[in-house]
Amino acid sequence: MRLPFSAVNSLLVFMLGIYILLSPTYTLAAEVSHVNVGRVVIEDQSVNAQQRAGREALAQVFVKLSGAESVLDDPIIKRAINNFEQYLISSSYLQINDKRYFEARFNQEQLVGLIRGSNLPIWPSIRPSASLWLAIQTPSKDIEWLNQNNATEFNQKLQQTAFESGVNVLLPLGDLNDAMAISDFDVFTQNSPKLLQQNSRYGTEFIISAAVKPISVNMREEYEQQAQFSEQQAQLNALLNQPNGLPSSNAQPSSDAALERHFPAPSDNFQMDLIFSNGTQIEIRKRFFENEDNIAETVIDEYVSWLVAQYAVDTSSNASVASQLITINNVRSFVDASRALQALSNAPQVNSASIVGLNGSSVQVKVSLNGSVEGLLSVLKLDKRLSSPLDGTMAENASVADSTKTQEIVFRWMP
C-alpha cells in the first residue's frame, strides 16, 4: 500500500523527532559550550560564601546568554539570581594558580526561557572564535608582541576574561612557525593580510588585531585640541539647525559619553587600536584606558560588544512574527535531515520548524520566526554546516500554508 505524501511527511517528522531526542548533542563548529557556566573567585567554602558565589555565577551566566549587563536590572532575572539553586545543575571548586574559583553549571533552557519571557535580548551560543594578535609599545618605543611563549600570565587572564564573557579567544603560540612568518612590527602595525594568512593554522573565524601604546604628552595635547574643535563644531551645527538662527534653550553640549570613545579622559594612559577581521568583514575601533592591567578586559569588552550588536536576537513583543521557507540541499541521509532540522530549530529567532517538502536530496522547512529574516541569516551563517545562501539571493515561491508569496532561502548542507 502506498502512503499519501502527507502521511509519509508526518512519519518522517516523527522519526526525526525521536532521533534528535535520543541522539547525543551535536557540537557546532562555532558553538561556545560554557555559556551556561559561571566561574567566580571564592575566598572560602563557608555556606555564606557559597551562596554569594552562586548568585554571582548565575548573574555572570545571564549576561553571557544575553550579551548585556542590563539584563540584571530585570525583576524576574533578579528573583532568579536570588534563587539560583532552582536552576543549578552542578557545581565544583577549581584552583587556578593562586586563586580558588566556584564554578556552577545552570539549566540553559530554563534561563533562556526567563530571558525570552522578559522580552530581553538573547545572544545565541553559536559565536565566532578569534585569535588575538596583540603588540605593545613601551615608553622607550620598543615593541613587544604578546603570545603564549612570552606572556603566560597575560594569557591566563585573557582566557579567564573570555570565559566570563562567553567567547573563545586564543593567543598565538609565538613558536618558530609564527616567528618565521610574523614579526613584532607586523603585529604592531596591524598588517592584516599577513596576520590572516598566518592565522589559518589556528582555525579561528576572526582575528583580533590590537596595538597598544602609551599616550604621550604630544598625543594628549593633540587630542585635547581635537576634542575642543569637535565641541565647537557641534555647537555651531546646533546653532545653524535652528529655524530662527538662534540657539535653542534645550540645546546641550556634546556629552562625555559621546566623546569618550574618540578622545582619552584625563585618567587614561593608554590607547588601543583594534581591528576585527575575517578577510571579508572588517571592524575598526579605538579605546583608551587607564592601566596596562586592563588590556585583556578592554579587548574582550570590545569584541563582545561587536558580536552582540550583530548577533543578539530581539525577543521583545514588538518583534515581528512571520513564516519563512528554507530549502536545504545535499541532505543525503536520515542523520543529515535530523541535524539540519535541529540546526534551524536552535536559532533563537525560530519559534518552530517543520518539514513541509521532500524532493530527492532537498528538504524544505517552514519556520515560524520571531524577528527578521536578516537576523536569522546572521545566526545561521555561523554554523559551518550551512553554506551561505546560493548567490546571496532569495527566490519567490508560493507559500505552502496559503496562497501568499514568500521568500525562499536556499542553503547547502555541508556535514
Q: Are residues 376 and 407 in the same domain?
A: yes
The residue with cell 534551524 is 344
Q: Are residues 23 and 84 in the same domain?
A: no
Q: Are residues 180 and 277 in the same domain?
A: yes
Q: Are residues 159 and 277 in the same domain?
A: yes
Q: How many domains does the chain have?
A: 3
For residue 77, the enclosing domain spans 37-117
Q: Are residues 149 and 290 in the same domain?
A: yes
Report pLDDT for 300: 96
Q: Are residues 399 and 369 in the same domain?
A: yes
Residues of the chain with pLDDT under 50: 1-29, 247-259, 391-405
Q: Are residues 139 and 272 in the same domain?
A: yes
> Is 259 contained in some domain?
no
> Is 222 contained in some domain?
no
> Is 232 contained in some domain?
no
Q: Are residues 333 and 390 in the same domain?
A: yes
> Is 190 contained in some domain?
yes
Global pTM exceeds 0.75: no
pLDDT tens digit sequence for 264-290: 888 889 999 999 998 888 899 999 999
Instruction: Provide the CATH number for the domain around residue 298.
Output: 3.40.50
> Is 248 contained in some domain?
no
Q: Are residues 103 and 58 in the same domain?
A: yes
> Is 99 contained in some domain?
yes
Of 256, 278, 311, the last residue of a domain is 311
For the record, the C-alpha cell of 201 comes out as 593554522
Q: Are residues 108 and 140 in the same domain?
A: no
Q: Are residues 157 and 301 in the same domain?
A: yes
Report pLDDT for 215: 86
Q: Are residues 90 and 49 in the same domain?
A: yes
> Is 106 contained in some domain?
yes
Of 88, 117, 146, the last residue of a domain is 117
Of 117, 145, 178, the last residue of a domain is 117
In sequence order, the β-bridge partners of residue 101 are: 41, 94
Report pLDDT for 5: 40
